[in-house]
Each structure stands twice: as C-alpha cells, then as structure tokens.
Amino acid sequence: MTPGLWALIVASAVLVFWTVGAYNRLVRLKNAIGAAFAQLDEQLRRRHELVGRLSETVQTALQHESAALEALQGAVLQAREAAERARGAPLQAGPLGALAGGEQTLAGSLQRVLALVAHHPEMQQDGAVSEIAQALDETRHRIGFARLAYNDQVDAFNAATAQFPTVVLARVFGFFPLEPLVALP
C-alpha cells in the first residue's frame, strides 16, 4: 500500500471514531436531560398529591369558599394533565411551556386557599393542615432544585450541540438546542 492510501485509511478511521464518540456524547447528554426531568416530575407529582390532600383536609372548614376550592381542584387537574403531556415529550418546548403554565395556575390557586386557611385560627392549629403546608413548602424548594438540575443538563446539551465541529454532526442527526424550563412556583 502506498503512503497516501495509509493516510486516507487512518484519517477515515479517526473520523469514524470521532463521529461515534461525538454522537454517543450527544445521546448521553440527551438522556441526562430525561433523567433530570424525571426527578423534576417526581417532585411535581408530590406537590399535586399534597395539594389534593390539603384540599380534602380543608374542604369542610372552607365550605363557604367553594369557589376557591373548586379553582384549586381544577388547577391541580390542569397541572396533572400538563405534566402528563410533558412526560411524553420532556424535550419539546410546547409541553414544557404548558407545564409551566399549569404550575403557575396551581400556585396561584394554592396561595389563595392558603390565605383563606390563614384567616381561620382553628385550621392553623390543625396538625394535618400545618404538616401539609410544611411539606408543600419543602416540595417547592425541591422543585426549584430539580428545575435547576434540568436546566443545567439542557445547558450542557446546548453547549455540546453548538460547538464546532460537533454542531455539524448534531444537525445531521437531528440534535437541536433545547429551551430551558422557566421558573416553576
């Protein structure tokens, strides 16, 4: 074999190994985003469950505020549906935007019900209500950390898909930059 042929074979081998390595890195980063979303989703499910428990716990005491409780229950349903859609497509901007919107609505309705609870001293002394309120606050912090972890993974993926020469490979194989998740209340 001629030296030119050897150089071509070596260059081709290097290109193939680089392509496989770069592709596998992009897949790993994309899978890390999915894992980070799963952690976020777990915390959102926890919040939805806690809000449902809170609603059941205060329902009899806040009978005269049925509109606020109905709004809360509707917001929980909307947030759960949005989370379900986002679970099916955790890398698409549309479902993630709907998720953020559903969680914003839920947070507003929850704040209203918690304000009503604050005006009823007997419910503030109820151990179940205060326990749920504390768990909701802890979960809110966990959601914040999980969202940051998700966004960190998105940033790492976006950086990898923007760097030359990986950007060329990313576009060929359909790896496009992703949108970070906006703040969740």
Q: What is the pLDDT of residues 103-119, one digit of tens each?
A: 999 999 999 999 888 88
Q: Which residue has the higher pLDDT, 17 or 124?
A: 17
At 149 the pLDDT is: 96
Widest Cα–Cα separation across the chain: 91
Look at residue 124 in the predicted model and tell me its pLDDT: 67
pLDDT at 150: 96
Whether the bond into 165 is cis, omega within 30 of 0: yes
- Percent of the chain at pLDDT exceeding 70: 98
- Residue 140 has what pLDDT? 94
Of 34-38, 53-57, 147-151, the range with the lowest mean pLDDT is 53-57
| Cα distances (angstroms) measured from residue 54 to each of 67, 82, 114 | 15, 21, 9
Instruction: Supply the pLDDT for residue 165.
Output: 92
Query: What average pLDDT score do residues 159-174 get?
Result: 93
DSSP for residue 176: -
Say yes or no to pLDDT of 182 above 70: yes
Give the pLDDT confidence of 58-95 residue by residue, as tens digits: 888 788 888 998 999 999 999 999 999 999 988 888 99
pLDDT-based confidence at 101, cuts 50/70/90?
very high
Other beta carbons less than 10 A from residue 143's beta carbon:
21
How far apart are alpha carbons 81 and 83 in whole angstroms? 5
- What is the per-residue pLDDT for 52? 93
Task: State residue 57's pLDDT score.
Answer: 87
Sorting pLDDT into bands at 50, 70 and 90, what band is 24? very high
Contact 102, 83 (CB under 8 A): yes
CA-CA distance, 77 to 48, in Å (whole number)? Answer: 9
Mind listing the domains of the chain with CATH numbers? Answer: 11-172 (1.20.1440.20)
What was the pLDDT predicted at 184? 75
Mean pLDDT of the chain: 91
Nearest to 177 by CA among 150, 155, 151, 144: 155
10 Å CB burial of residue 166 (0-12, 13-18, 19+) is buried
